[in-house]
A and B are shown apart, each in its own frame.
Chain A
Amino acid sequence: MAEMQHVAIVGGGATGAALAYFLSLREVKVTILEAKTDVGFGVSKANSGIVHGGFHLPVSTLEGKLELQGNQAFKKLAQELHFPYNRCGIIMAAFSQEELAIVEGFYRRGVENRVPGMEWCSPERLRELEPGLADGVLGGLLAPDGGVVEPYGYVFSLCSQARRNGAEILTDFRVEKARFADGKWHISASDGRSCTADYVVNAAGLYADKVSAVFGGESFSILPRKGDEYLLDKTVPYRPGHVIFPVPTEHSKGVLVIPTAGGTTMVGPTARMTEDKEDTSTTAQDREEIFKIAQKMIPAVSQRDIIASFCGLRPVLQNWTGKFMLQISAKAPALIQAAGIQSPGLTASPAIAEYLIGLLEKAGLNAPCKKEVAPLPEYAKPLREMTPEEADLKFQEDPAWTKIVCRCEMVSEAEIVRAVRMGHTTLDGVKFFTRAGMGRCQAGFCTARILQIIARETGKTVQEITKRGGASRITAENEVAK
């Protein structure tokens, strides 16, 4: 039997992770090369987490088609891999005659796109669906198959199942050089590690332009479009039951009010272009603007309930028609470009993965389906979802299950240990995997304990532990005299 061909995926975000997962079900060797310290730590970790409804774009466009296919794939994927996902439905509401005409247009597009269950709603019907909508709503659409996903949970689940199927994930692997020789790519990282591959997929998010240049691929430029988001406490006076969309603007789908898959409410994002690929700063002006727009739709939304804010970056291809660049490189051998994956990229990612596999095959990859794949994971029920009786049974297995570390989100020591053992060794990694530190106290109470657990499990000192890799150390190097 011939040796399995090897695909290296540069970038472990939603695109790279979905591709790795679907490729791992085939007879092919898969390696993710992730520049950051954990998968999903780039574009994927900081966005609205929307599984879009399939009515924004015509299905005749690549993005529109992949969005619709991706939307339908999410249901099954979530059942199989158990990441936090809620098919709560999307409402787009109109508050003026002008907006009404636009929303009607989206409704018609949804119907043309054959979006399942697409419904036009009277003001009465909207109020029945979403009692907290502002007065003066004139009508709107409901896309019941739209929903929310926890984007980092999604990426973690894909990667972990890909790994069980033999995929390899190299983190902190910053691709620096690549040479094509003897029919293979020879890739080296800035720290001296190397990897060879028959095919390379460039799914490097904001840095896809730089990665393309390293491989001698197409020359293009990617700039970030910033999106500030605000998370509200679980005890907000009103949490919507659906994702609430405004009428979109030219460059974005606008400020949304989102019932997140994690049980909080989120408002955002903004859409502001920047030159700086690491600029995730938020501003007071944009905060005021976000809340003004959100309150027009849901008046109960208030800055008083903010528990966290962050800014995500969407990778926007410059001088490119459409959004996504999904193609076999015309310049470099055995290179597939998956660049410019901005909204609806998260929704589309399962479909993008299948599309990329098609491109890889077109480029010569021979990857028949595996006869046997790893069994699907069992649902790792978090402590917060257990009854006291169930928790007591888990205690018999491991006493750390009833040892609470994060009080706001009710996370046990057993769950933190599991996160660390699965490779999430930063404070943010543990947070994204378990929700510890994501609640209203913002890790004021649990940080010290989590640092201890990470240190114990990894053999590192507390001083060596970082927030999210690199130089983001939590404490200074020196100790304090006890």
Chain B
Amino acid sequence: MKELFCDIAVIGAGAAGLSAAHAAASCGASTAVIDREEAPGGVLLQCIHNGFGLHYFREELTGPEYAERMALQVRKAQVKMLSGHTAISITPCGEEHELILYSGKTGVTRLHAGAVILATGCRERTRANIAVPGDRPAGVFTAGLAQKLVNMEGVAPGKRAVIVGSGDIGLIMARRLTWSGIEVARVVEIQPYPSGLARNIAQCLDDFGIRLDLATRITGIYGRDRVESVTLSPLSDPGKTEKIHCDTVLFSVGLIPENELARKCGVRLHPVTGGAVTDSAHMTSVPGIFACGNALHVHDLADYASAEGALCGKSAVDFLRGERAPADIPVEAGLNLRYTAPCGCRPGVPNRFYMRPAKVLNNAVFRAVQGNTVLKTQRLQAARPAEMLTMEITVNDPAAGVIRFELEGEEA
């Protein structure tokens, strides 16, 4: 068994992990990135569409281009890239952490790290998670798996598809399938509003004349060997059933932060996001273990995950240098907001928070409040669950108590 040592071990080489590693290495920490796949980039590599990088690189890139830029930065910063390595466990060991890595190239490695950054991304919710009844034929995929098959393996998942859920991957796949000569018969969404970004609704459905049925439920999948049909029912009239013939069903019904390693090493998880509970430094409940990107909470854009990763990478270095910030001011999600990340605010410096609306609200007011004091207000034409909200605040008075974010507006 090999032994390796580093200051900071980042698990996951996606948009968040690479950025965290780059930030940590740029601060002078010896940094290693552990990733299961043969090449860095994570899920970016199968996202061959453009729209990446507008915030982070200030230009429009495809997923693989974005990954390549990130990987290049990381290489230049002398980060040790452990591709094809799966982290099996993290064990706190005195002041440091011991990671066990499995690799088909090098066998088993014990990696000793001063701090660990979890950037393990997320997984897709499946048919089972929304308990769709019916048969269990071939031809049922998560949207991300279908994307991998089409973009990485060059195989078509089927000939005529129904897409369940209007998450961004599902929308992107509606367009991708259409371009590949696979007919998209329908996209159905159980909510009365789309789950994906407005730009994806326009560019991936509207531009191709693909029909989106909102407030509609899939009530069954049928077919013995391969999918033959699905049944749909509008929420407003559950007795009404429409049968659509298709041989493929894609599920794009939400993402869940991947936190198996975190769970196993005792990291406290957030009941709403499924990611870790983190303080203003993105540190979890286990000292020296940090979290960022989609492993922490699901982001709309890779750029945001990278921005969060960069902050996290720097905080991990500060931690290793023994810098201890004053105690956080607790932060909570108030009216019409589902959560905030992180869950604490460091006094006296700017802190950036991400959160997600619980419903669609027009002419909305988005504000941060501490006690009876409104710290900051933003006006929004509309707030949607599909679009993350972010606010940067600086709070100087810890004694004034909990900071609460709120969202008010007209119900759509």
Interface residues of A (CB under 8 A from B): 235, 278, 280-284, 287, 303, 306-310, 388-389, 391-392, 395-396, 399-400, 402-404, 407-408, 410, 412-413, 427, 440-445, 447-448, 451-452, 462-463, 466-468, 470-476, 478-482
Whole-angstrom distance between the Cβ of A369 and the nearest chain B Cβ: 42
Q: Which of chain B's residues have a CB closer than 8 A to the CB of A412?
A: 102
Q: Which of chain B's residues have a CB closer than 8 A to the CB of A283?
A: 133
Would A310 and B136 be within 8 Å (CB), given that A404-B86, A476-B157 are in contact?
yes
Known contacts A403-B104, A468-B138; 14 further A-B pairs (Cβ under 8 A): A280-B135, A282-B133, A284-B133, A389-B108, A402-B103, A402-B107, A404-B36, A441-B124, A441-B126, A462-B153, A474-B138, A476-B155, A480-B180, A481-B154
- Convert B144-174 into 0s and 1s, putting 1 for each residue whose CB lies closer than 8 angstroms to a CB of A: 1100111011111111000000000000000
Q: Which of chain A's residues have a CB closer than 8 A to the CB of B1?
A: 388-389, 392
Question: How far is B7's CA from A110's CA once the two chains are assembled, in angstroms?
Answer: 62
Question: How far is B156's CA from A479's CA once the two chains are assembled, in angstroms?
Answer: 6
Q: Which of chain A's residues have a CB closer than 8 A to the CB of B124?
A: 441, 444
Q: Which of chain B's residues have a CB closer than 8 A to the CB of A399?
A: 104-105, 107
Q: Which of chain A's residues have a CB closer than 8 A to the CB of B157?
A: 475-476
| Closest A-B pairs by Cβ, 8 of them | A403-B104, A395-B107, A467-B138, A392-B108, A471-B225, A472-B225, A402-B102, A476-B156
Q: Which of chain A's residues have a CB closer than 8 A to the CB of B104?
A: 399-400, 402-403, 413
Q: B102 contacts A444, CB within 8 Å?
A: no
Interface pick from B24-32, B216-224, B363-371, B376-384: B216-224
Whole-angstrom distance between the Cβ of B261 and the nearest chain A Cβ: 10
Q: Which of chain B's residues have a CB closer than 8 A to the CB of A462?
A: 153, 155
Q: Which of chain A's residues have a CB closer than 8 A to the CB of B126?
A: 307, 441-442, 444
Q: B108 contacts A448, CB within 8 Å?
A: no
Whole-angstrom distance between the Cβ of A441 and the nearest chain B Cβ: 5
Would A472 and B137 be within 8 Å (CB), given that A440-B123, A480-B155 are in contact?
yes
Q: Which of chain A's residues have a CB closer than 8 A to the CB of B133?
A: 281-284, 287, 309
Interface hits, B101-148 → A, CB 8 Å: 102-105, 107-108, 110, 123-124, 126-129, 131, 133-139, 141-142, 144-145, 148
Whole-angstrom distance between the Cβ of A320 and the nearest chain B Cβ: 28
Q: A442 contacts B127, CB within 8 Å?
A: yes
B226 at the interface (CB under 8 A from A): yes
Main secondary structure of the interface of B (DSSP, over half): mixed
Determine which of A287, A308, A310, A448 lies in contact with B148 in the assembled complex, contact meaning CB atoms within 8 Å.
Answer: A448
Question: How far is B103's CA from A391's CA once the two chains are assembled, in angstroms?
Answer: 10
Q: B144 contacts A444, CB within 8 Å?
A: yes
Would A472 and B134 be within 8 Å (CB), given that A308-B128, A448-B149 are in contact?
no
Question: How far is B152's CA from A395's CA once the two chains are assembled, in angstroms?
Answer: 28
Q: Which of chain A's residues have a CB closer than 8 A to the CB of B127?
A: 442
Q: A480 contacts B135, CB within 8 Å?
A: no
Question: How far is B226's CA from A472's CA once the two chains are assembled, in angstroms?
Answer: 5
- Convert B188-224 into 0s and 1s, putting 1 for each residue whose CB lies closer than 8 angstroms to a CB of A: 0000000000000000000000000000000110101
B100 at the interface (CB under 8 A from A): yes
Q: Which of chain B's residues have a CB closer than 8 A to the CB of A474?
A: 138-139
Q: B128 contacts A478, CB within 8 Å?
A: no
Q: B123 contacts A475, CB within 8 Å?
A: no
Q: A280 contacts B136, CB within 8 Å?
A: yes
Whole-angstrom distance between the Cβ of B49 and the nearest chain A Cβ: 15
Question: How far is B220's CA from A135's CA once the two chains are assembled, in angstroms?
Answer: 36
Between A and B, 19 residue pairs with Cβ closer than 8 Å are A309-B128, A388-B100, A388-B108, A395-B107, A399-B104, A427-B138, A440-B123, A441-B126, A467-B137, A468-B225, A470-B225, A471-B226, A472-B137, A472-B138, A473-B226, A475-B149, A476-B158, A480-B150, A480-B155
Q: Which of chain B's residues have a CB closer than 8 A to the CB of A472?
A: 137-138, 225-226
Q: Which of chain B's residues have a CB closer than 8 A to the CB of A396?
A: 107
Determine which of A403, A443, A468 lies in contact with B103 in the assembled complex, contact meaning CB atoms within 8 Å.
Answer: A403
Which of A310, A442, A447, A467 is packed against the most chain B CB atoms within 10 Å?
A: A442
B263 at the interface (CB under 8 A from A): yes
Q: A309 contacts B131, CB within 8 Å?
A: yes
Q: Which of chain B's residues have a CB closer than 8 A to the CB of A442?
A: 126-128, 142
Question: How far is B231's CA from A281's CA once the two chains are assembled, in angstroms?
Answer: 13
Q: A392 contacts B156, CB within 8 Å?
A: no
Whole-angstrom distance between the Cβ of B398 and the nearest chain A Cβ: 35
Q: Which of chain A's residues have a CB closer than 8 A to the CB of B36?
A: 404, 407
Q: Which of chain A's residues have a CB closer than 8 A to the CB of B144?
A: 444
Would A451 and B105 be within 8 Å (CB), given that A280-B135, A284-B133, A388-B1 are in contact?
no
Would A444 and B138 be within 8 Å (CB), given that A388-B1, A388-B110, A471-B226 are in contact?
no
Question: How far is B157's CA from A481's CA once the two chains are assembled, in angstroms?
Answer: 13
Question: How far is B116's CA from A104's CA once the two chains are assembled, in angstroms?
Answer: 56
Question: How far is B156's CA from A310's CA once the two chains are assembled, in angstroms?
Answer: 26
Which of A392, A468, A481 is packed against the most chain B CB atoms within 10 Å?
A: A392
Question: How far is B225's CA from A476's CA once the two chains are assembled, in angstroms?
Answer: 13
Q: A444 contacts B100, CB within 8 Å?
A: no
